[in-house]
Chain A
Amino acid sequence: MTLTITSPQLGSDFSQDACRFLFDNLFDTANTVVASSEDPDFPVENVSDWLLTDFFAPAATGTYHITLTMPTTTNVDCMAFFRQDLHLNAGSIVLQYFDGAVWQDATSTILPADDKPQIFYFDTISASMWRFEIDSTVIASIGALFVGEHMALEVGVWGGFTPPIFARNNNMITSMSQSGQFIGRSIVSNAGSISLTAEFQTLGFMRSEWLPFIKHAELKPFFFTWNNDNFPLEDSFAWLDQTNTSASNQTFNRMSANIKMRVLTE
């Protein structure tokens, strides 16, 4: 008798493809990245260096483009951004691709309501030229921008996982008076801290998908959705918070790995 165990019966609460990582940014492999308007103190390179302490900003208001020319036709199924102030003045952003004749929208026009990390998924599109069309009535800044394909765990997160929005890790400094009264409080915001276990992933997946992700994550941050099925808006900007990123074999010819991450959700 053969016993076949498939997800979700393996123990994950959610389906395949629910837990997603965005790390392979087309900005890194493009032949050229050109902004149609650019403030020299805030160049376009700042938007793809995974740093949230520098920003891209145009030289003027209105509509402008960040255009990526790829060496070959490239598959894309998602885009993401974080730390922008487009939302302060009803600015908009849309991802487009060149179909050989005209520019087509890959996403609908997005009007960010805040500066939380946001990821937008769509059916895979293949093109060799991509661009972001951004419109703002004031000079707006963007910290991080991503376009590419996502990587999803074959088996999603397990029970006991802390969703990033609940991984609050702020320092509170409280003042109490001599008479025992609460008289003041300061907060220092910190990134949340979570632990994710990728259980029961196939041997092939770990080599073709997980290992490239880990090599990226050892150097740079990434975008992360923990459950796109049920909580598609709970996106995070994350980075590894450990030195040991090894994976190990399990039973049933599967592998598991545990990583600790710091996450920003707002």
Chain B
Amino acid sequence: MTFATLKDTLGREPITIVEMDLDFCQLTYSISPCTAAIGVTGSTKCYNTFQTCQDRENYDRGTKTYRFSTANANLPVGQNLFPCVTNVSHVPTKIDVNGLSVRATIKIDMIDFPHHDRGIDPYTDDRNFDPEFQGTFWGKFKARNPFVIDRTIRVKYGFIDPTGFDTTYSTDFEIREYVIEKIDGPDANGKVTITAKDILKLANNQKAKAPIQSLGVLSAGITNSATTIGLDTVAGYSSSGLIRIGDELITYTGISVLNLTGCVRGTNNTTAVTHDADDGAQLCLQYTATPVQEIIEDLLINFAAVPPAFIPITDWNDEDFLDPYDFTTIITTPTGVQDLLQELTQQSNSNLWWDDRDQEIKLKAIRIPLPNEVTEVVNMDNIIGKGIKVIERRDLRVSRVVIHYGVFDFTQDLMEFSNYRKHITDVDTDSESADEYGSIKEKEIFSRWIPSDAVARDLSTRIINRLKNTPKEITFTVDAKDSGIKTGDPIFVVTRQVQDELGVDKNTLYIVTEEKKLKEGSKSMYKATEFNTGVTGGTVGLIGPNSLLDFTLESDANKATFAFISNNSGLMSDGSPGYRIV
């Protein structure tokens, strides 16, 4: 049976599997090419880990997968599972309305135990001690495997299949992948805690910067008109490009030995000045009319070392609502990639998050979902008990947007008003009026990326349309059988906690911002933010192709995707609300 079938089964038996892929040498001790030998390189055999290796020149790094599980009396036969997981605590990915998501963190508690080393140590027969009575599993494990940072860990939520255990650990499991941050313990109570974060952790400001810090310094002082600049090293410099020395930007067209040639001094509104020997020459990062998704891809792959397999660039390119956002900028100093991603998502009105179920990084424009994209309806028949809460997110409301763009000098303060040529202010006067909220809620953006007035106004319009009315945030819990909803999904929620003016439970559109397993295999908690369309009444649809038939003749799928002309009363021929262009 598959995971989807098992989660719907009454009396399902949840099981959580934790898999760690750690380094493990593929050679055999003292067998060529391994030159280690007892009495020569060490007094005992290694444990096939780098830490214990006695012939590191020939160390052949492979991977060994270790599996742990929650305790259950019905564990499968024939599987090497250590049932020592006592708790899995999940701080989920949280989509932030301002763009970049909050990282998902997972903490896995385990209990230590005595272990005979079989299945762990390849040479148990050659030891002169009994490992079952010396040390503990985690004590020995950590000493042999200290290098765990950024290695892969997978948490697999599943169920014990009564028709036969899934020994591939895939079909019957919902798999979530992370990178290990640390392993603490064992403490005095034998508790071990593994902390891991989602793959976007690699983009943390401390780990990833763009551009990378350049190593070159001037080999000699230069005048303000020198067109050839000598460096002590050209390692890491592109064959042509833009560098920053002090507050001056300089383009160059070639590299000859250790010299940057064809230099044009004082470009991009900077001033050519003299520079001294040993002054640093920082290679700059430039983007010119580059689609935002390509910039994000470049930052993640080339500066944060995120494996390309996690970036579905085809899906990103299909996000039509990102089309207006082709950006231009110069980044003159190493800047945290996380900060840059935050700017990019905020200024392209999009969300970027790690989808730990699909195991890929999602980039989606914040836009009104089409009717055919909203498939889940949550109501009193599937919300559990009293686990529902609705709050007003007044902090999210925005009534006016101020955008500063058109940077004058990229070497100067980018939070300084005077460093920007252009400023726009977009105001929703209705929501600021005394008849509505009667107050100003301003969002100010200093943008090094936005190239034009059209892009700035597109951004401000989308923000105001979405946030001019205070959105609700709803938190609810569902049974595992209804846990197909994922972070980022649009859903309708109908609950007596949100009523219309007639007292009828109101069918309200939300975007799921957070999903958390409350009890693995049993209950899941969701948090979702109301999605205001910015218009009252009507149905959303796209401008359709010429090939569409009349409304009455078209398929339900096309009616849910494209807009059709309504009658003068704003209704379609079947009585449904007409479409509105937004």
A residues near B, CB below 8 A? 41-43, 45-46, 49, 52-55, 57, 83-85, 88, 115, 140-141, 143, 173, 175-179, 181, 183-191, 264
Contacts and interface: CB of A to CB of B under 8 A. Distances in A.
Contacts of B481: 183-184
Interface in B448-489: 478-482
B207 interface: no
A42 B77 CA distance: 12
A178 B383 contact: yes
A16 to B, nearest CB: 32
Given A43-B118, A186-B12, A190-B73, A173 B384 contact: no
Nearest to B10: A185
B307 interface: no
Most buried by B among A176, A185, A187, A191: A187
B549 interface: no
How many chain B residues sit at the interface, stated as a range, is 35 or more
Contacts of B523: 173, 175
A189 B521 CA distance: 13
B74 A178 contact: no
Contacts of B13: 186-189
A159 B388 CA distance: 49
A143 B385 CA distance: 42
Contacts of A185: 10-12
A115 to B, nearest CB: 6
Given A173-B522, A184-B481, A191 B73 contact: yes
Given A178-B495, A179-B380, 14 more contacts: A42-B80, A45-B116, A140-B78, A177-B381, A178-B385, A178-B388, A184-B522, A185-B10, A186-B11, A187-B11, A187-B12, A189-B72, A191-B73, A264-B73
Contacts of A189: 13, 72-74
11 contacts: A53-B83, A55-B77, A55-B78, A141-B77, A141-B78, A175-B478, A175-B523, A177-B382, A178-B384, A183-B381, A184-B10
Interface in B144-176: 164
A184 B119 contact: no
Contacts of B73: 189-191, 264
Nearest to A45: B118
B139 interface: no
A54 B479 contact: no
Nearest to A183: B479
A191 B522 CA distance: 20
Contact of B80 (A41, A52, A187): A41
Given A84-B77, A178-B383, A186-B12, A46 B118 contact: yes
A188 B72 contact: yes
- Give the 9 A-B residue pairs with the shortest CB-CB distance, closest first: A141-B78, A184-B479, A175-B479, A189-B73, A178-B380, A186-B522, A173-B522, A85-B77, A189-B74
Nearest to A82: B77
Which of the listed residues B13, B77, B79, B380 has the most CB atoms from chain A within 10 Å of its own CB? B77
B519 A177 contact: no
Given A173-B522, A186-B522, A181 B381 contact: yes
Nearest to A169: B73
Contacts of B495: 178
B559 to A, nearest CB: 31
Contacts of B132: 49
B386 interface: yes
A175 B384 contact: yes
Nearest to B388: A178
A178 B386 contact: yes
A263 to B, nearest CB: 10
A141 B80 CA distance: 11
Given A54-B80, A141-B78, A184-B481, A176 B385 contact: yes
A54 B77 contact: no
B27 to A, nearest CB: 16
A53 B77 contact: no
B77 A183 contact: no
Given A53-B83, A55-B78, A177 B385 contact: yes
B77 A188 contact: no
Contact of B519 (A46, A53, A141, A186): A186
Nearest to B521: A186
B118 A176 contact: no
Most chain B beta-carbon contacts within 10 A, residue among A85, A179, A188: A188
A166 B139 CA distance: 39
A173 B480 CA distance: 11
